[in-house]
Amino acid sequence: MATKVSGEQYYGLDGQLLEIKRQLRQEDGYPFDPEELKNYLQTAIEGRFRGSRKRSNKFLWLISGGVSLTVDAVDGTEILADAKDVFPGGIDSNFINWGADEPGRSTAETPVDVYEMTKDSTYSKMFGSLSDDVQKICFTQAQIKNFAKRNYEWFRTDSYGTFFLFESNGYFFVADVNFSSSGRLSVSVDQFGNSSVWDAGSHRLVVPRLA
């Protein structure tokens, strides 16, 4: 039985298709196995979605499945407010103004997952869809810096950001990494409790992989 696709569901799916095209056009090449992409697309064309629900939820779609992504073991002392070497495009002064500049703990090498939004949502809904205890999916600021340094090809390059959740001085914050108009990485910060609704297909999330 055919299903009419419209509204936010249509725009979410269309955004994912556009992102595939963007990745294929990258000057440095497609970051994954193009033959695997071909196989996945063919199964989608044929409507063979067995097991696909394991890779997504109401708000997010896992786009790094099958790829080994990690952040290095770090001592936790580095903070984003001082990370000009990785974010030459600019660093939000609110890291200091809001007390979002507390050094973190030391962490071991950590596997991570990258998700793309498929439904309009707030920070609390998108991160909460992955875990009821959002502290489990927090990075330290040193880990966020390390990911940006090692895996910058996973960031959106079309003026949209990539979100990382972290805790500082007893509060939760969201670091938003994107490419500035000059083509250089920049980072801003927002309060996790911000109730703004972000558009589906426009942003990504990076979180520590849950067991």
Mean pLDDT over 31-44 rounds to 75
Query: Hunting for tokens 């801003």 — which residue is that?
Result: 188
Query: Percentage of the chain with pLDDT > 90?
Result: 55
Tell me: pLDDT of 52 over 50: no
State whether 149 and 199 are in the same domain.
Answer: yes
**Contact predicate 172/187, CB 8 Å:** no
Instruction: Please report whether residue 166 resides in a domain.
Output: yes
State whether 19 and 122 are in the same domain.
Answer: no
Mean pLDDT over 110-123 rounds to 93
State whether 153 and 203 are in the same domain.
Answer: yes
Tell me: pLDDT of 89 over 70: yes
What range defines the domain where residue 21 resides?
Answer: 7-53
Instruction: Please report whether residue 2 resides in a domain.
Output: no
State whether 45 and 84 are in the same domain.
Answer: no
State whether 122 and 27 are in the same domain.
Answer: no
State whether 119 and 166 are in the same domain.
Answer: yes
Average pLDDT of the chain is 88
**Contact predicate 64/55, CB 8 Å:** no
State whether 16 and 110 are in the same domain.
Answer: no
State whether 187 and 145 are in the same domain.
Answer: yes
| Count of domains for the chain | 2
Instruction: Please report whether residue 160 resides in a domain.
Output: yes
- Provide the pLDDT confidence category of residue 53 given band limits of 50, 70 and 90: very low
Mean pLDDT over 67-90 rounds to 95
Instruction: Please report whether residue 1 resides in a domain.
Output: no
Tell me: pLDDT of 67 over 70: yes
Query: Percentage of the chain with pLDDT > 70?
Result: 92
pLDDT in tens, 153-167: 898 877 789 999 999
State whether 172 and 99 are in the same domain.
Answer: yes
Instruction: Please report whether residue 59 resides in a domain.
Output: no
The residues, any chain, with a CB within 8 Å of residue 87's CB and separated by 6 or more, are 80, 148, 177, 184, 185, 186, 187
Instruction: Please report whether residue 80 resides in a domain.
Output: yes
pLDDT at 39: 65
Instruction: Please report whether residue 58 resides in a domain.
Output: no
Q: Is the dihedral of CA 141, 147, 150, 154 positive or negative?
A: negative
State whether 123 and 168 are in the same domain.
Answer: yes
Instruction: Please report whether residue 18 resides in a domain.
Output: yes
pLDDT in tens, 126-157: 999 999 999 999 999 999 999 999 998 898 87
